[in-house]
Structure 1
Amino acid sequence: MNRSDVIPSLVLSSYALGRIAAQDAGNDAPAAQWRVLSLLEQSGPKRVGELATAARTTQPGMTRLIGVLERDGLVLRSSVPEDSRAIAVGITEAGSDALQTWRTEFRETLAPRFADLGEDDWQALTRAAEVLAAHTTIDSTGASQ
C-alpha cells in the first residue's frame, strides 16, 4: 500500500468496523450518539454549537440529538456561568456508564475477528492506535488538534 493510501484506508476500515460491530451486536443506537458522548467524556461540557462543529453536523441536528440524549438521561444541560444566555451540555454518570457498556460490547463483538492475529500484528495495531490517538485529540473548544 502506498503511504498516501494508508490514512484513508484506516479511516474507511474504522467506519466499516464500527458498522460491523453495531450490526453484529444488534446495537441500533445512532453512531452520532456515541461520538457525542465520547467527546463530552474526553473534553467536558460543551455548548451545542461547539458540539455541532466538533461532530460536523448542523446546530439544529445536534439540538435534536441532545434532546434525545437528555430524555434518556445520558446528558444534562446546564447554564454557562460566564454567559447567562448560553447552555452547556455535559455527560451524566448514566451516559458514561452507557458509553463504557458500548465500548465493552464492541470489544467483545469484534474480538473473534482478530483472534488469529499474532504478536507482531498486535504490536502493529497497538502502535497504529497510539499514533492515531496522538493525532486526533480534541482541545478545550472541541476542535481537533
Structure 2
Amino acid sequence: MHSEPTEIFESLLTSNHRLTRMAAQSTGSTVSAGVWSTLSVLNADGPRRNGELAKAARISQPGMTKLLSNLIDDEWVYRIADVDDSRAWLIAITDKGRDALFGWRTQLAEATKDIFGDLSDTEWATLGRAAEILASRVGVTEVAA
C-alpha cells in the first residue's frame, strides 16, 4: 500500500503509462502516439501554433511539422490565420480529427475489458471517483460526443 503522496502519484503515473501502452498495443493500430497526443492537445486546449503544439505534445518541432502535414492531408487538422500575427498560422482540430480521437479512446477503453472485467461495483465506484478527482485537478473538461 502506498502511503505518501509522492508514492501514490508515482504509482498512478507508472500504472497509467503501462495501461495506455498495453491497450494501444492490443488494438493493433499503426497510428503513432504523437498523433493522438497532438489531437488531444488541440481538442483540450484549442488552436495552437506549431511550436506551442510541439512543446505541449512533447514532439520536436521538425517532427511536428511532418506530423501536421500528414494530419492536414488526412483532414484531421487544419490551418487558420493567427489574428495576432498575420505571418503565423494556428493549427486546429477538425470534426473528423475529433471523431478519430474519440474513436481511439473508445478502442483503448475496449482493450482494457480483459484487465478490469472482474472488478466489483465498489471497485468501479472507487475508480470512478479517482477519475473525477484527477480530471478536476488537471483541468479535464472534454467529453466524448
- TM-score for the superposition, normalised by structure 2: 0.87
The structure whose RCO (Cα within 8 Å, separation 6+) is larger is 1
2: CA distance, partners of 1:71 / 1:104: 24
1:143 corresponds in structure 2 to none
2:3 maps to 1:2: yes
**Cα deviations across residues 85-143 of structure 1 (Å, max 9, x unaligned)?**
111000011101111211111111112211111122112111211122122237xxxxx
Report sequence identity in percent.
Answer: 43
2:20 maps to 1:18: yes
**Cα deviations across residues 49-102 of structure 1 (Å, max 9, x unaligned)?**
111221233222222221221122111112112211111000011101111211
- TM-score for the superposition, normalised by structure 1: 0.87
2:122 corresponds in structure 1 to 120
Structure 1 segments (4+ residues) deviating >3 Å: none
1:66 corresponds in structure 2 to 68
Q: How does 1:52-91 map onto structure 2 within 5 Å?
A: 52-91=54-93
2:125 maps to 1:136: no
2: CA distance, partners of 1:50 / 1:60: 12
Where is the strand percentage greater, Structure 1 or Structure 2?
1
1: CA distance, partners of 2:83 / 2:9: 41
For 1:89, the aligned partner's letter is I
Alignment: residue pair count: 138
Structure 1: gaps (5+ residues): 139-145
| SS of 2:78 mapped into structure 1 | strand
Residues 34 and 59 in structure 2, CA contact (< 8 A), matched pair in contact too: no
Structure 2: gaps (5+ residues): 141-145
Residues 77 and 87 in structure 1, CA contact (< 8 A), matched pair in contact too: yes
Residues 77 and 88 in structure 1, CA contact (< 8 A), matched pair in contact too: yes
2:42 corresponds in structure 1 to 40
Aligned residues: CA RMSD: 1.5
